[in-house]
Amino acid sequence: METHTQFPQDSDERGGDAREPVPVDHGCVQLLDPDGVRQEDALYDLFVADLGHAELLALYEDMVVTRRIDTEATALQRQGEIGLWPPSLGQEAAQVGSARVLRRGDFVFTSYREQAVAYCRGVELDQLMAMWRGTALSGWDPFAVGMATPAVIIGAQTLHATGYAMGCQRDGSDAVAVAYFGDGATSQGDVNEALVLAASFQAPVVFFCQNNQYAISEPVGLQAQRPIADRAPGFGVPSMRVDGNDVLAVTAAMRIAVDRARSGGGPTFIEAVTYRMGPHTTSDDPTRYRDESEVVSWRAKDPIARLERLLESEGALDETARAHVASVADAAAARVRAGCLALPAPDPLSLFDEVYATAHPGLERQREEYRSYLAMFDGGAR
């Protein structure tokens, strides 16, 4: 695989000012267009040639189910059952297409929006909600599913993934680490440090950037004058830029990157160009910073609809199959709701239990102050 070189290097190649915004899909690999029509690519086609109807239906089901989970979680937040939720609407292909490539022994480090990745890794649905309901500091046992709990600090998980990958390398394992992050994180120091470290030691790590066009309210063009995938080769890390709403292109790119890491080829950077259809979190109002026409244009590129069209055109998605997927999705949503509502409320003072391995006077003083504070209210605390 060669490094990403598809972006014009100067104004002559692009026929204009080099600082003009480039088209969002510039240089993106696409195997399935928005109308569900297969596109040929001599290299990437080789990496999805084995995906028949059964495999495509499985990817379709994953995307439908995770969108249903996302919808249910958003409803739970609106009903006051969880404090906050970061919707992943529109990013299902990027997450499912990449996560389903991994083996059980690989390890994933994410930010806070990768609910579909968590679903694919086998995180129990009630555990998925624990942090957002405020009943746990994180949510699940990372080693049980090969996935760290969400990192809210932007970009920090890229260093964790690189360090983990270097550990695998030294152990002689062929396991791979994956770091998921957004376009905004690529401007953070941690991500740049991770790329330097990974390139220096040829760590078996995949940097998977979901460019969903906004860092909260700031458009990606403000921080990236060139495609984000162009940054990685400067660190010595080869990169790919793919249509993140095309589950086939994402799967192919991830297979290339994982095969390379597993065989000792070192790190790879993938920029999956996608779009966050909803708000940054449920506390955000995206109508304040983006036009509805933009949302409409991206809705036409919906990742689920395009795979649905392909399956329909090939006679692989009939009413029976569609009803089955819908029932699986509804059952998952019901488990999310029931599991969330059944989560036991922790003792308020347990907040201090896991701060240090050994208690110290300062922490004990804070605990007693908090106990006195809680005693001011009905019921107090133990």
Q: Which listed residue (103, 104, 289, 365) is catalytic?
A: 289
- Catalytic-role residue among 68, 100, 276, 309: 276
Let me know if 53 is a catalytic residue: no
How far is the C-alpha of 250 from the C-alpha of 74, rounded, in Å?
26
Q: Is 276 a catalytic residue?
A: yes
- Annotated catalytic residue within 280, 306, 309, 337: 280
The tokens describing 11, both together, are 């104004």
Q: Work out the angle between the directed axes of helices 53-78 and 303-313 (0-180°, nearest 10).
A: 150
Q: Cα torsion for 66, 345, 146, 304, to the nearest 10°?
A: 10
Amino acid at 234: G
What is the DSSP secondary-structure string of 219-242? EHHHH-SS-GGGTGGGGT--EEEE
CB 242 within 8 A of CB 29: yes
Q: How far apart are CA 327 and CA 93, in angstroms?
A: 20
Q: Which helix (H) or strand (E) holds 56?
A: helix 53-78
Nearest-angstrom CA–CA distance, 312 and 245 = 18
Which of 209, 231, 232 has its CA nearest to residue 113? 209
Ramachandran class of 354: left when φ > 0, alpha when ψ lies in -120 to 50, beta otherwise: alpha
d(CA 108, CA 168): 13
Which residues are part of the catalytic machinery? Answer: 276, 280, 289
